[in-house]
Amino acid sequence: MDKGLLAYLLIPLLSAVIIPFAARNRPRLADILANVTLLAGLVNIAWMVLRPSVVADGFADIPGDMLFPLLLVGAIYLVALCVTFFSAWFMEEGQPNRAAYYSLILASVSAMTGVVTTTDFFTLYVFIEVLAVTSFALITTDDSRGGIEGALKYFFLTFPASALIIAGISILLIVLGDLQFETLRIFMASDVPPGPAVFAAALIMLGFLIKAGVVPFHAWTPDAYQGAYAPVSAHLAGIVTKISGVYAIVKLGTLLRFFDGRASALSEMVMFLGLLSIAVGALAALRQKDFKRMLAFSSISQVGYIVLAAGLGTPLAVIGAVFHLFNHATFKTVLFLNSASVEKSAGTTDMEKLGGLEHSMPWTSWTSVIALLSTAGVPPLSGFWSKLLIILALWEAGLRGYAGLALLFSIVTLAYFMVMQRKIFFGRKSQAAESAPEVSAPLLAPAVLMSAVIVALGLLFPYFYTYVKMVAERIIL
Amino acid sequence: MTYHNLLFTLAVLFALWAVMAKKLLTSAIMLALVSVTVSLIFFNLGAPWAGVFELSVCAGLITVLFIGAVSLIRSTEEKHPESRAPFYALPLAAAIFAIAGWFYLPAFFDELASWRRLADGSGTIGTALWDLRRPDLLGQVLMLAAGVFVIKSVFPRRTEK
Amino acid sequence: MNLILIPIVLPIAAALALLLICEKTKYIKELLAAGAAIVSLLAAANIFLQPPADLTLRWFGSAAFTLHADNLSAFLLLAVSLFSAAISVYSFSNPAKGPAKWFFFNLLMTQGFAAGAALADNMVAMLFFWEGLLVFLYTFIALSQNNHAARRTAMKAFLINGVTDLCLLVGITITAYIAGTASMSEIARNKLTLEYGWAVFAYVLLMIGAVSKAGAFPFHTWIPDAATDSSATFMAYVPAAIDKLLGIYFLARASVYLFALNQTMSLVLMTLGAVTILVAVMMAFVQKDYKRLLSYHAVSQTGYMILGIGTLNPIGIAGGLFHMINHATYKSCLFMTSGAVERQAGTTDLSKLGGLFRAMPVTGLCFVIAAAAISGIAPLNGFFSKELVYKGALDTGYTVFFIAAEIGSFLTLASFLKLGHSVYFGDRPENLKETKEAPFSMLLPMLTLAGICLAFGFGAELPLNWLIVPSLAGMSIPNPTMSGFHLDKLYFVSVIVILAAVINHLIGLAAGGGKADKASDHIHYAPVLKETYALAERRAFDIYELGMDKAVPFVSRLLFKADRFFDWAIDALPSGVAGFLGGSVNRFHNGSYPLYMALTLIGAVVYILLAGGLK
């Protein structure tokens, strides 16, 4: 673990511990503490990575192994800040577990930071489990029946995954005698037959595939996202499952050196599962009646793109995967936060009962449009570039069929989001939409901020590209 | 040797308590204590990796999971009090087992201790935890904190109802 | 700044500035437009006298857009600027021009783009300006009157010219491809011949673009409609002057400068010219409306120019170009007189007009001069250019074209006798007793143009030596021996034609019961012609109307069906498939935990088996 990044883990943990004591008599203090902690972290990262002198030197000042974690820590803090800021106004006054809610979010931020900064499989496992526990508690925040059902499904499907991961780690320990990432990488680069190590890695990979919600291990995702407390859905879908599952898949893919064909069977399977996710997620999303459930299936489909690219493992594909991971965090957060706004304003997320919200909720409507266009990969938004990189990488690797299908399902993505936008925001006003005012400005601010990030990343992609490219090169070589 | 025996005794006591406790929560905590003692035994026998795994997974994670699950099902538990009679036979069984063990087990323990010399002895529990698995410790702290927050988050609502 | 930019940039800048001026202001718009046009005219004159250096703009490093003022371009630019200046002065107090702001905007835009088309050396750049003219042609007509007919005619003009401009576009593309460059001066150094591959196709497309701009048969049909649905000023400016100038300019460029044509193509061009002359003049002869009659003549006169250029001999080409400038002069003048009459008398219906010469002597005088010029009466300018065309046609050996041209001349004169007689002479109707002369601002341009008609007639040497010969030299055509007023047999033929026309008019008058506007009825209602005319009036020969009535509904229904099919293929088919697949995927997400668990376990088992290398 990099000591330079330890502060990003420890400070939220400290805040999380302080909050229950500090906010015992003043509940609003919990909001402020959580937001200030995350904002300070985000500003710090922005200062480290984006200050003009650093950008001008092409990030030469930042040590090589810190670039990728920094990018992800940035994404984690950004999404978490949006979620806490949103929650501060979304949560009803006097909810008894307000302080615990923020503590849990901060603890999950700590855990995610631990996940992305660690260089050891067992530490990775520990943090992933912390993440699972906090997510489980967060899903049940609003005490609804759906929440508890979703939480239990999450619990009981990710638990076997943990078992698989720990089994894989044990085998890996036997084979390699060590659990450092570096050891596996060096082992894979050598000429020793990789058999048992790859099998161990396959078990770990399977565990993470389940945690990432890749088809056919995705069954918990729709129920968990749909049932979860509204801002928590954004937190889960935007960043938690991506870090606890997808990040590890990308990392494993680079460690196993998928691009030089040493673990080709595993690589092919991961790619196949990625494509299957894309297809099943998109097709299932087409027929959904509930806003949040559709977003959940969309999330499965988008995770498929990242997994597909991670399975390919060439430098270009890894750039695409990393960038898509980041983009997914931006657009999915916007969409889930907007679904929370719609739920608060119109009282339901059932698309059959909604309609014509565009007139009363213009900001929500238009930020949704930006986010969905970015998801579908419409230029010049950021999602376009990452999908383009992924499809280009597939094409370059000679996988024309995969590239074509990835493109096709990108169109299906646009189709189901168009259906969603038409049913919820456009068209004639429905009964539920009649008395649905626009939510207050603080609730809109995170969605607007994220939309701005989407547009800015899309337009400034050439500058951002050098950064992401450097990240990918450094984590592969 | 006394240290060993003390740990064994403690492990058995905690295990019994875990089975016999009235509250599920107590059971979970006792189970965690069993794991802690077992991991200490592992360390003492020169298997620091196993000790660390046991400590991390069983003492930390599993406990938190149990506590989380218990906190969810607590309300139904109290409605249907179970018959506790069979459990009182347990200390008796344990006592019989202990007496039998007094005669047979020391030889086994000696053999185990000889195995210890074969393991290369990665140092004390302190060095193993602190030098090799420091990030894991952080993870453990986080795990415990998370467990506390889970309880804080879930319990108030359960008690309200 | 290069002087060559002024005739292009200044009118466009002035036009844009015009839009900023409030519609209610008086004279500011008019002064701005007239000022811009006159300054452009001065610049054009300067360019003509002292050709400035070429202005080359490079685009993407390779394609060079050059503005190049060779003799022909400079001559054309001068003519365009002259008519713009004349029209902008003329429109000073003409109410029948639509909203003044938009009128002058269109006028100046047309001027700027026409100047650009004249000066562009690169065919692509020329096409840009050419297409710009198309846009302003539409707005010009559509905004000249605020009624449905104006918009309909505007659309008709737009579509006809749009289609032919498309031909031009394709032609230019092919030509540039064959020649390897789009620069006309570079192509001219090594002229294309029709033997090479697609060259015939390319040339025919270029020709279609050029002659339809000039308004030749069968692309002329929007012009008579525009005459009734638009203003006289527009007619005097665009169809009478600018379009003819540009069309014939490019026809000459394409036929002489870019391509070396063969005998067959020459025959095609001459036939086209002759047919245009005859068809249009036959129609013109029987018209009962001042502007409509003139508009058919505008078409008919194009035939002479095409015929002249089609002869491909120096005299014929010189005649064509000379006729181009002459025609623009007198036809503009004639349309201006029609505008003046419309303004003063309130109508252009021949049967309601009469005896205006006394009331409007200056207008009448201009009309007489211009009418004489268009009819080819010596010694006015039309006579000389027509003589040159006749001589060129005779020199090719195909006498039939000469005869056709002479018949055209005969009918032209006859129709102008009828027109002049019914408007300016004879009895004045009661309601026109109070009619007064048109204002000075209208008379000045008319007088100027009539003066040019006279000057180019009596001093025909002057324009020939100063304008036409250098233009031909610019296209590397040897200097033809052109005499001005020559007493050869052609002169006698023209006298015979004049006499025949007068006799015909008298017969017509006698047949029409002394009414001048019925002087054409003996031909109009002659046995076979009557039905033909009736059909023509119903626009049965109008390819645009035919297309709109017959072909377009059919094609659009066909396209509609095809579109329905594609709609279905794009919409119903994938959504059906996706719906089916999505539905079956959905059936697996029923919330049942055991099902999910089973799915996960099966997946995990298969995964582990495959990851172990089992295939």
A131 touches chain C (CB under 8 A): no
Q: Give the dihedral of Cα atoms C556, C558, C559, C562; nearest 10 deg.
A: 160
Contact residues on chain A for C612, CB-CB shorter than 8 A: 199, 202
Q: How far separated are the first and last CA of chain B, in Å rounded? A: 51
The long-range contacts involving B8-17, CB below 8 angstroms and separated by at least 24 positions, are B8/B41, B10/B37, B11/B37, B11/B38, B11/B41, B12/B94, B12/B98, B16/B90, B16/B91, B16/B94
Is A102 within 8 Å of A84 (Cβ atoms)? yes
A296 touches chain C (CB under 8 A): no
The count of structural domains within chain C is 2
Q: Name the more confident of A130 and C523.
A: A130
Give the residue from B62, C605, B57 showing the smallest Cα distance to A206: C605
C596 touches chain A (CB under 8 A): yes
| CA distances for C115 relative to B129, B153, C344, angstroms | 88, 80, 33
Contact residues on chain C for A220, CB-CB shorter than 8 A: 596
**Structural domain of B49:** 2-160
Q: Which residue of B has its CA nearest to A159?
A: B65
Asked, for residue C560, whether it belongs to a domain, the answer is yes
Residues C589 and C462 in one domain: no
**A and B make contact (3+ CB pairs below 8 Å):** yes
- And the tokens for B42? 């592992």
Write down the pLDDT at residue A451: 92
- Per-residue DSSP letters for A62-120? S-HHHHHHHHHHHHHHHHHHHHHHHHHHHSPTT-TTHHHHHHHHHHHHHHHHHHHH--B
Q: Which chains touch C (3 or more CB pairs under 8 A)?
A: A
Write down the pLDDT at residue B82: 64
Residues C301 and C371 in one domain: yes
- And the tokens for A40? 């300070």
Phi, psi dihedrals of residue C389, rounded to the nearest 5°: -65, -45
For chain A, the average pLDDT equals 85
Tell whether the model's pLDDT for residue C487 goes beyond 60.
no
A118 touches chain B (CB under 8 A): yes
**Structural domain of C331:** 262-521
> CA–CA separation, C80 vs B11, rounded Å?
109
Tell whether the model's pLDDT for residue A70 goes beyond 80.
yes
Over residues C476-485, mean pLDDT: 61
Residues C377 and C501 in one domain: yes
Alpha helices in A177-243, H assignment, sequence order:
181-189, 195-212, 220-227, 230-235, 241
Is A184 within 8 Å of A256 (Cβ atoms)? yes
Asked, for residue C530, whether it belongs to a domain, the answer is no
Q: Which residue of C has its CA nearest to A411?
A: C574
The residue from C488, C505, C521 where one domain ends is: C521
- Which of C578, C596, C607 has its CB closest to that of A220? C596
The number of beta carbons lying within 10 Å of the beta carbon of residue C587 is: 8
Percent of chain B with pLDDT over 90: 0
Contact A269 C582 (CB under 8 A): no
A202 touches chain C (CB under 8 A): yes
* Chain A residues 100-119 with CB within 8 Å of chain C: none
pLDDT, tens digit, 9 for 90 and up, residues B72-121:
665 555 556 666 777 777 778 888 887 887 777 777 777 766 666 555 55
pLDDT, tens digit, 9 for 90 and up, residues C535-556:
777 766 677 777 777 777 888 8
C65 SS3 class: strand
The number of beta carbons lying within 10 Å of the beta carbon of residue C268 is: 15
Is A247 within 8 Å of A325 (Cβ atoms)? yes
Residues C301 and C393 in one domain: yes
Write down the pLDDT at residue A229: 84
Tell whether the model's pLDDT for residue C613 goes beyond 70.
no
> Would you say how long chain C is, in residues?
615
- Which of B135, B150, B157 has its CB closest to that of A118? B135
The count of structural domains within chain B is 1
Report the gap between the CA of B129 and the closest CA in chain A (Å).
12
Asked, for residue C170, whether it belongs to a domain, the answer is no
Q: Which residue of B has its CA nearest to A174?
A: B49
With cut-offs at 50, 70 and 90, classify the pLDDT of residue A39.
very high
Report how many helices (DSSP H) and strands (DSSP E) chain C contains, helices first: 28, 4
**B and C make contact (3+ CB pairs below 8 Å):** no
Contact C611 A206 (CB under 8 A): yes
ipTM score: 0.78
Over residues C103-123, mean pLDDT: 86
Chain-centre distance for alpha carbon A321: 12
> CA–CA separation, B94 vs A101, rounded Å?
43
C607 touches chain A (CB under 8 A): yes
> CA–CA separation, C220 vs A232, rounded Å?
72
Report the gap between the CA of A298 and the closest CA in chain C (Å).
13
Report the gap between the CA of C568 and the closest CA in chain A (Å).
16
The count of structural domains within chain A is 1
A181 touches chain B (CB under 8 A): no
Report strand pairing: C259-260 vs C192-193. Answer: parallel
Suggest the residue from A126, A164, A229 to mutate for an interface test with chain B (most B CBs closer than 10 A).
Answer: A126
Is A73 within 8 Å of B128 (Cβ atoms)? no
Residues C503 and C577 in one domain: no
Tell whether the model's pLDDT for residue C181 goes beyond 50.
yes
Write down the pLDDT at residue C485: 47
What's the pTM value of the predicted model, to 2 decimals? 0.60
Report the gap between the CA of A202 and the closest CA in chain C (Å).
6
Write down the pLDDT at residue A2: 56
Write down the pLDDT at residue A475: 66
**Structural domain of A194:** 3-476
Give the lowest-confidence range in A333-337, C192-196, C556-560: C192-196
- Which of A152, A157, A280 has its CB closest to that of C600? A157
Here the CATH number for the domain that contains residue B69 is 1.20.120
CA angle in degrees (0–180, nearest 5) for C571-C572-C573: 100
* Chain A residues 55-114 with CB within 8 Å of chain B: 96-97, 99-101, 103-104, 107, 110-111, 114
A379 SS3 class: coil
C576 touches chain A (CB under 8 A): no
Q: Name the more confident of B45 and C255.
A: C255
> CA–CA separation, A10 vs A114, rounded Å?
9
pLDDT, tens digit, 9 for 90 and up, residues B8-34:
888 888 888 888 877 777 888 888 888
* Chain A residues 226-265 with CB within 8 Å of chain C: 265
Residues of B within an 8 Å Cβ radius of A: 49, 52-53, 56-57, 60-61, 64-65, 68-69, 72, 133, 135-136, 138-143, 145-147, 149-150, 152-154, 156-157, 160
Is C54 within 8 Å of C66 (Cβ atoms)? yes
Give the residue from A347, A341, A367 showing the smallest Cα distance to A433: A347
pLDDT, tens digit, 9 for 90 and up, residues A125-176:
888 888 888 888 888 777 666 777 888 888 888 888 888 898 898 888 888 8
Percent of chain C with pLDDT over 70: 93
Burial A309-321 (b: 16+ CB within 10 A, else e): bbbbbbbbbbbbb
CA angle in degrees (0–180, nearest 5) for A464-A469-A471: 100
Write down the pLDDT at residue C76: 85
Suggest the residue from A283, A301, A405 to mutate for an interface test with chain C (most C CBs closer than 10 A).
Answer: A283
Tell whether the model's pLDDT for residue C488 goes beyond 70.
no
Contact C600 A287 (CB under 8 A): no
Residues C488 and C561 in one domain: no
Give the residue from C357, C328, C330, C331 showing the smallest Cα distance to C344: C357
Tell whether the model's pLDDT for residue C565 goes beyond 70.
yes
Over residues C195-216, mean pLDDT: 84
> CA–CA separation, C41 vs C48, rounded Å?
10
What is the CB-side half-sphere exposure of residue A334 using CA atoms within 13 A? 28
Alpha helices in C286-313, H assignment, sequence order:
290-310
pLDDT, tens digit, 9 for 90 and up, residues A237-292:
889 988 888 999 998 888 888 777 778 888 888 999 999 999 888 888 888 888 88
Write down the pLDDT at residue C34: 84
Is C220 within 8 Å of C229 (Cβ atoms)? no
- And the tokens for A140? 């049940």
* Chain A residues 145-164 with CB within 8 Å of chain C: 149, 152-153, 156-157, 160, 164
With cut-offs at 50, 70 and 90, classify the pLDDT of residue A83.
very high
Write down the pLDDT at residue B118: 54
Tell whether the model's pLDDT for residue B128 goes beyond 80.
no
Q: Is the dihedral angle over the CA atoms A458, A459, A464, A469 positive or is it negative?
A: positive
